[in-house]
């Protein structure tokens, strides 16, 4: 797999692997053996960039640490801090003491003595961004962290952080059905030389075509509270999936591969991190790195997007209040 560079110096595979769903957010956790095997399979496919977080639970970081310990010097591991006690529903906490607690726990869980990329998971309005960036800067000087990242941050926060400690990457949602970053964030990242790491590049699975209005999600699947995934909105949004499917069929690839190739085609410093719990899906996603969309293909996709209004918000109101700060 080809490589890309985040923030001018952090070289990663052109596509990463988002590990959240292995134990958090999308139903029951995978067994340790299955999760470790899937992460190792991703590495064998050429993926060298792996994303986890304190908020996904200790088990998630442990999966990553166990799977990648034998190849630690050949991979880039990203994790995140920013929630009180590591629990998103308990609110923010990016105090210096909390950041330091998180890094020590993460180093232990990940079986390593440094984290390649340490993100603030959400901006904490109670802690000045300069203080957050300053703490991470100190951790970099101490050798415990190599690069600083932000997640779902707004333009002002990005600028303030970058002035104290260069930000290597911003992680935010971006896909065929969520293009809001194009208006302000992508131009800012290009100006500052910051890489972009889109999560949910497959629309939380919807763009693959595997989710229909009749799909029954697990009781603890967070998509149950996402307005975009109501039965009514799934029905309306199915039209977009069908139009992408027609393009995929013409190209001889899958919906997922078109969606991922489109994201990667937007900028050379964009590295999506799709996640999955299935080996076949992992192979399919990795195959998207070899899909080259021509200018004609991109124009056709652009025309589809211009002609379709996605129905439903991407977050319920309580979660939406924590992004873009």
Using CA atoms, how far apart are residues 311 and 233, in angstroms rounded to an integer? Answer: 6
Indicate the pairing of strand 76-81 with strand 49-51.
Answer: parallel
| DSSP count for the chain of H helices, then E strands | 11, 9
**Global pTM exceeds 0.75:** yes
Average confidence score pLDDT of the chain: 96
- Which comes out higher in pLDDT, residue 314 or 196? 196
Could you read off the pLDDT of 212-223 as tens digits, one per residue? 888 988 888 889
- Which comes out higher in pLDDT, residue 3 or 229? 3
Please tell me which residue in 56, 114, 174, 315 is annotated as part of the active site.
Answer: 56
pLDDT the model gives residue 281: 97
pLDDT the model gives residue 143: 98
The arrangement of secondary structure in 3-320, i.e. its CATH architecture, is: Alpha-Beta Barrel (3.20)
Torsion of CA 245, 248, 252, 256, to 10 degrees: -90
pLDDT band at 173 (very low <50, low <70, confident <90, very high): very high
Contact by Cβ (8 Å): 129, 93: no
Could you read off the pLDDT of 6-51 as tens digits, one per residue? 999 999 999 999 999 999 988 889 999 999 999 999 999 999 999 9
pLDDT the model gives residue 317: 81
Contact by Cβ (8 Å): 226, 316: yes
Using CA atoms, how far apart are residues 154 and 240, in angstroms rounded to an integer? Answer: 28
- Cβ contacts of residue 280 below 8 Å, gap of 6+? none
Using DSSP's 3-state secondary structure scheme, residue 47 falls into coil
Beta bridge partners of 80: 119
- Which comes out higher in pLDDT, residue 322 or 310? 310
Beta bridge partners of 119: 80, 149
Using CA atoms, how far apart are residues 304 and 245, in angstroms rounded to an integer? Answer: 11
Residue 235 structure tokens: 């029905």
Using CA atoms, how far apart are residues 194 and 81, in angstroms rounded to an integer? Answer: 19
pLDDT the model gives residue 218: 86
pLDDT the model gives residue 319: 79
User: For the purposes of burial, counting CB atoms within 10 Å of the CB of 303, is it exposed (0-12), middle (13-18) or buried (19 or more)?
Assistant: exposed
- Mark whether 43 is an active-site residue: no
| Interval 305-324 mean pLDDT | 86
In this predicted structure, the answer to whether residue 318 has a pLDDT above a threshold of 80 is no
The number of C-alpha atoms within 13 Å of 252 and in the hemisphere containing its C-beta is 3
Q: How far is CA 120 from the centre of its chain?
A: 13
List the one residue out of 14, 10, 13, 36 whose CA is nearest residue 23. 36
Tokens 């991190």 label which residue?
273
Using CA atoms, how far apart are residues 305 and 291, in angstroms rounded to an integer? Answer: 20
List the one residue out of 207, 318, 317 whose CA is nearest residue 262. 207
């Amino acid at each position: 797999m080809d490589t890309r560079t985040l923030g001018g110096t952090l070289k990663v595979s052109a596509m990463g692997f988002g590990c959240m769903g292995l134990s958090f957010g999308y139903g029951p956790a995978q067994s340790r053996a299955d999760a470790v095997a899937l992460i190792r399979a991703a590495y064998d496919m050429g993926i060298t960039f792996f994303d986890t977080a304190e908020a996904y639970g200790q088990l998630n970081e442990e999966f990553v640490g166990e799977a990648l310990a034998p190849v630690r010097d050949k991979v880039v591991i990203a994790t995140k801090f920013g929630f009180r006690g590591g629990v998103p529903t308990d609110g923010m906490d990016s105090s210096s003491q909390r950041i330091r607690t998180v890094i020590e726990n993460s180093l232990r869980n990940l079986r390593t003595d440094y984290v390649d990329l340490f993100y603030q998971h959400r901006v904490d309005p109670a802690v000045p961004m300069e203080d957050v960036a300053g703490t991470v800067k100190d951790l970099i000087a101490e050798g415990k962290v190599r690069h600083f990242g932000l997640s779902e941050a707004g333009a002002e926060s990005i600028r303030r952080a970058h002035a104290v400690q260069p930000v290597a990457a911003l992680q935010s949602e971006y896909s065929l059905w969520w293009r809001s970053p194009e208006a302000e964030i992508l131009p800012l990242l290009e100006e500052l030389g910051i890489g972009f790491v889109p999560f949910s590049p497959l629309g939380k699975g919807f763009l693959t075509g595997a989710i229909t209005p009749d799909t029954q999600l697990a009781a603890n699947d967070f998509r149950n509270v996402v307005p975009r995934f109501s039965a009514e909105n799934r029905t309306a949004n199915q039209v977009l999936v069908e139009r992408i499917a027609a393009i995929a069929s013409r190209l001889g690839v899958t919906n997922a591969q078109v969606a991922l190739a489109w994201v990667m085609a937007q900028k050379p410093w964009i590295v999506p991190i799709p996640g999955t719990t299935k080996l076949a899906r992992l192979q399919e996603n990795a195959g998207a790195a070899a899909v080259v969309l021509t200018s004609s293909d991109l124009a056709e996709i652009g025309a589809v997007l211009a002609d379709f209004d996605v129905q439903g918000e991407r977050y319920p109101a309580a979660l939406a209040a924590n992004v873009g700060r």
